Structure 1
Amino acid sequence: MTTSPEQSAPGWVRRHRRVLTIIGISVVALLAIAVSAFLWWANDTYPAEPAGLAAVQEDPRVDLDDRGDVVILRPTGEDDGRGLVFLSGAKVDPQAYAATFQEVAAEGTTVVIVKPFLNLAILERRPLDAFTDLVPEVGSWAVGGHSMGGVKACSYAEPGEVDALVLLASYCSGDALASSTDLDVISVSGTQDGLATPAKIDDSLADLPASTTVVRIDGASHAQFGDYGVQPGDGTPTISDEEARESISEALVPFLDPS
């Protein structure tokens, strides 16, 4: 009768191999659980508030085109030839920014709201033209984002690619743009923001061009830059969502279309 290499090995070797096998299976199982948990967490998004989304869909001045990974808002009236590629905040459905940019689009600027890879902008690897090519009639582009989306937007703000950067309750992760002289930048934040706090915004301004337009909305919280309800860790707003959106529009409309 023949014996296998496993059977002929000393007992301690067989025990060692069994232990390694058990450890290997356990590690794979733990990794599978961790990946599954991460995917569940990343896809547990903040959805758009139905009433705000319905108001945009019913607005005759705006056309909303939801393509799954992007939401495109176009003016139905006169087009100013400008566009904004906007990256959603972490785990926020792009539809939640339709209400934010309703007036911007109604005034003539096309807005492409991006749903980043796995709903996390820091994982997004598509080039900017993957979004700008969706609206070839637009001649001049800005890029921007909310929260984590704004951090990623800073990396797209290359000279010659875009001429403006829009940061909503956000900031750049480094000072690569600080010395830029051909990029218009606006930073809009809220005084009640518990995530991108006023102190964090103030500290980040040194990373932006000296010509940056800084707008602070008194009483606005982090989540009010979208329309998706309450966000854990945020501050308590002292103004209504409608008042916050009005202030955001008052800042962005003239910035995006200075003519």
Structure 2
Amino acid sequence: MRRLGRLAVVLLMGLLGYGLGVAQPYVFRPPLVAGQDAITDAASRAAVVSVDDVGGRVLSIRPTGPARVLLVLYPGGFVRPQAYEWLGRALASRGVHTVIPEFPADLAVVDAGRAAALIARYAEGRPVVVGGHSLGGAMAAGYAADHPGDVAGLVLLASYPAQDKPVTGVSFTALSLLAEHDGVADPDAVRGGLERLPPGSRLVVVPGAVHSFFGRYGPQAGDGRPTVSRAEAEAVVVAAVGGYLDAIR
């Protein structure tokens, strides 16, 4: 009996250790650090980057001069905010102030209304665009649907509005981006999501790209195989998002 008891304890400890090992990447998240693999050229180097506390930590990337528009960008599920710093830096040269909030467990669904506090803190009377990648995009679309008077635009990266949260009856159009070889977001669902976006909204397919090319967080399980470099895909993303934001007034 004692031997069986010891065996049970060993098995229990083994299962507990395995469970902790599996859960560790999701429970113990990497620190929020600015400046990781984000500076790509002189224009992006000139951005002012800080980690602020606005009801939780937020990565702020602002132009060195006056900002013209505020972009509140929700990260994808289990993705750290700094994975999108590259995009904020690239947009800063176009007068865009990008803020990327940190969510509990890196899941925007936990606090989808987080944009309200960020808009109150950073908008300063400027037009506000909300957006996000994957799960973060769906949550941002829900925020836009619930607060149409506070939002002047919506940017979705490999994402789409939920069936019960169409973004219709608003005064702005949206921009939706789809990676050609996305193996995580369903391409048909992204295309179908246009039906739940305002009339005149546009879908841009990023040739040769995959889901993880929207953020710098490395390869993602189940994703497709890219046929272009990350730099080539990022250039298309910046051109599309930047062009859309240039028209926001």
TM-score, scaled relative to structure 1:
0.77
**1:216-255 to 2 correspondences below 5 Å:** 216-255=205-244
Q: Is the 8 A contact 2:128 2:153 kept in 1?
A: yes
- 1:130 is aligned to 117
Larger Rg: 1
Q: CA contact under 8 A between 2:191 and 2:203: conserved in structure 1?
A: no
Structure 1 residues 106, 43: CA separation in 2 closer, same or farther (over 3 Å shift)? farther
1:79 aligns with 2:67: yes
Q: Are the structure 2 counterparts of residues 49 and 163 from structure 1 closer, same or farther at C-alpha, using a change threshold of 3 Å?
A: closer
Unaligned segments of structure 1, at least 5 residues: 1-29
What SS is found at the alignment partner of 2:224?
Answer: coil
| 8 Å Cα contact 2:63/2:97 also seen in 1 | yes
Q: Structure 1 pair 50/132, CA: closer, same or farther in 2 (3 Å)?
A: closer
Question: Aligned-pair distance for 1:140?
Answer: 0.9
The equivalences for 1:177-216 within 5 A come to 177-216=166-205
Distance 1:108 1:44, change over 3 A: same
- 1:166–1:59 Cα change, 3 Å: closer
Answer yes or no: is the 8 Å Cα contact 1:196–1:222 preserved in 2: yes
Query: Take 1:40 and 1:230, find their aligned partners in 2: how far apart are those partners?
Result: 15
CA deviation profile, 1:66-113 (whole Å, cap 9, x unmatched): 237211110113422x10101000111101101123221121010011
The 1:34–1:51 alpha-carbon spacing in structure 2 relative to 1, beyond 3 Å, is closer
**CA offset at residue 145 of structure 1?**
0.4
> Which of the residues 64, 68, 80 maps onto 1:93?
80
* 1:16 corresponds to: none
CA distance, structure 2, for counterparts of residue 64 and residue 174 of structure 1: 36
| Contact 1:45–1:91, Cα closer than 8 Å, also in 2 | no
Residue type at the aligned position of 2:48 = D
1:103 is aligned, of 90, 93, 96, to: 90
CA 222–167 in structure 1, closer or farther in 2 if over 3 Å, else same: same
> Secondary structure in 1 aligned to 2:162?
coil
- Tell me the residue number matched to 1:64: 49
The SS at the match of 1:89 is: coil
Aligned partner letter, 1:149: G
| Contact 2:43/2:90 (<8 A) preserved | no
Instruction: Give the 3 Å change call, closer, same or farther, for CA 170–125 of structure 1 in structure 2.
Output: closer
Deviation (angstroms), 1:148: 0.5
Aligned ranges for residues 112-127 of structure 1 at < 5 Å?
112-127=99-114
* 1:220 alignment partner, SS class: coil
Secondary structure of the residue that 2:141 maps to in structure 1? Answer: helix
TM-fit CA distance, 1:118:
1.8
SS at match of 2:78: coil
Q: Mind listing any 5+ residue stretches in structure 2 that lack a counterpart?
A: 1-14
TM-score normalised according to structure 2 size: 0.80
Report the 3-state secondary structure (helix = DSSP H, G, I; strand = E; otherwise coil) of the residue aligned with 1:188: strand
2:158/2:185 contact within 8 Å kept:
yes
In structure 2, distance between residues paired with 1:115 and 1:232: 22
Q: State how far apart, in whole Å, the 2-side matches of 1:156 and 1:167 are.
A: 12
Q: Which residue of 2 aligns with 1:143?
A: 130
CA distance in 1, matches of 2:185, 2:115: 25
Does the aligned pair in 2 maintain the 1:46–1:92 contact within 8 Å? Answer: no
Match of 2:148 in 1: 159
Change (3 A) 1:90 1:212: same
